Amino acid sequence: MKILLGDFNAKVGREDIFKPTIGNESLHKISDDHGRDFDDIVADFATSKNLMVKSDQIPAELLQA
């Protein structure tokens, strides 16, 4: 197993383009500029290597409590 860790300082949203690598559970609805850069670099790399990208992903209904 290979793990790549980092603080990419990006708000990655729930846009459809991110779902294959990020999933549905993002804290942000819309990505910021760093999030779009993240997609261009890290998510594309992950997809090309058949990897998944994970973040602190908490289902929204748990945050509402």
Tell me whether residue 38 is in a domain. yes
Tell me whether residue 59 is in a domain. no
What is the separation, in whole angstroms, between the first and last Cα of the chain? 35
Per-residue pLDDT tens for 17-59? 767 766 776 667 777 776 666 666 777 777 788 877 766 656 6
- Give the model's pLDDT for residue 2: 72
- Its domain, for residue 40, covers 1-52
Count of structural domains, the chain: 1
d(CA 55, CA 65): 21
- Give the model's pLDDT for residue 55: 63
